[in-house]
Amino acid sequence: MTPSRDLVARVAAGAVPAIGRMISRAEAGSPEARPALAEIYRRAGRAHVVGLTGVPGSGKSTLVATLTAHLRKAGQKVGVVAIDPSSPYSGGAILGDRIRMADHVCDAGVYIRSMATRGAMGGMARAALDAVDILDVAGFDTVIIETVGVGQDEVEIARASHTTVVVSAPGLGDEIQAIKAGILEIADIHVVSKCDRSDANRTLTDLKQMLTLGTLTAGRTEWRVPVIGLSAYKGEGFETLMTAIGNHRRVAFETEAGARRRAAIARFRLEKTAETLLIERFTRGAAPVAGPLAERLSTRDGDPYGLATELLEQALAPHASGAST
């Protein structure tokens, strides 16, 4: 394993292989990587982190690709951390989404990384935010976190950014719309994709109306959430989106509300990291003792709460977890 100090220095110099290796270590979550990730964190804080989410079929990936192209044209280096659904068995991240990013793969000013969602229990958020810091330290000006807007973890990650963009598309089915309702409230900027379609106006109007009624703003007053119609097909709306992202960047970095947001992100991150360490300690301690307790539960010689309490006591005992007091 490359010594951590060297690796961090090479990440900071923008060396692509070092960036990839550092993110892999963050993703694996091994304790050996932590000193380097701690050093990364201390050096980070310069990049504008944009969370981008939307339900399946909303045109999220096309938007990320086009947004990346516009940010590049404006002279920025762009990092993308894409949280992908993954199989509970096979563990492979699905790369289909990335195909649309093919235009950017030969551009040294763009770094794209897909991360799997497996290994939950706070681990995904922790790993994704570590990856964002790595790209930040490596000199990327804007780092986009792209998540599918389903599942509480995915939504929380999209919120843990300076600027959250939520993409909606016209004419999705009932069930998709129902899922969508859960993510509309987290938007700093609403985007309606596929605005070349005739039913897009309805989606635009609905969103604007919800914003006017105050049902989506969650009490925020420092920023008027815009609703921006886009057409990747016609190439329309992207300049407006770029302006909105730039304006919100100023809110994030230069206002009291932005400072509160960054404090909330730090709190979220502290808790997610603590949960990861906690589950790790518990899992290590539980492995040798869970079998007999599960057997008792299986035969109903005990109940889940009583046996789980026993498991906790045994797993967190200093001699079991290897922790010193």
Binding to a second copy in span 19-58, by CB under 8 A: 34, 37-39, 41-42, 44-45, 55-57
Q: How far is the CB of 323 from a second copy (least distance, A)?
A: 9
Nearer to a second copy, 122 or 229 (CB): 122
Q: Let me know if 71 is exposed, middle or buried by CB neighbors in 10 A (0-12, 13-18, 19+).
A: buried
For helices 290-298 and 304-316, angle between their N-to-C axes, nearest 10 degrees: 180
Q: Return the residues of window 56-75 that contact a second copy according to CB under 8 A.
A: 56-57, 61
Is 311 a residue that touches a second copy (CB under 8 A)? yes
- To a second copy, the closest distance from the beta carbon of 184 in angstroms equals 8
Joined tokens for residue 273: 């990291």
Angle between helices 256-286 and 123-137 (to 10 degrees): 130
Q: How far is the CB of 129 from a second copy (least distance, A)?
A: 8
- Collapsed DSSP state (helix, strand, coil) of residue 170: coil
User: Which of 53, 66, 86, 164 is close enough to bind a second copy by CB under 8 A?
Assistant: 86
Interaction of residue 136 with a second copy, rule CB under 8 A: no
State the pairing for strand pair 163-168/189-192: parallel
Q: Is 88 in the site for a second copy (CB under 8 A)?
A: yes
Q: How many residues bind a second copy (CB under 8 A)?
A: 88
Please, what is the minimum distance in Å from the beta carbon of residue 109 to a second copy? 26
**Residue of 76, 182, 206, 208 interacting with a second copy (CB under 8 A):** 182
Q: Which of residues 93-112 bind a second copy (CB under 8 A)?
A: 94, 96-97
Q: Which of 135, 155, 227, 252 binds a second copy (CB under 8 A)?
A: 155
Q: Which of 107, 141, 156, 206 binds a second copy (CB under 8 A)?
A: 156
- Residue 312, CB-side half-sphere exposure with 13 Å CA sphere: 8
| Per-residue binding letters, 263-302, with a second copy (x by CB under 8 A) | x--xx-xxx-xxxxxxx-xx---x---xx-xxx-xx-x--
Give, rounded to a whole angstrom, the gap between the first and last alpha carbons of the chain: 30
- Smallest separation (angstroms) from a second copy to the CB of 24: 17
**H helices of the chain, where?**
4-12, 16-28, 34-43, 60-73, 123-137, 152-159, 174-181, 200-212, 238-254, 256-286, 290-298, 304-316, 318-321
Query: Smaller CB distance to a second copy: residue 107 or 129?
Result: 129
DSSP 94-143: P-GGGGGGGGGTT-TTEEEEEEE--S-TTHHHHHHHHHHHHHHHTT-SEE
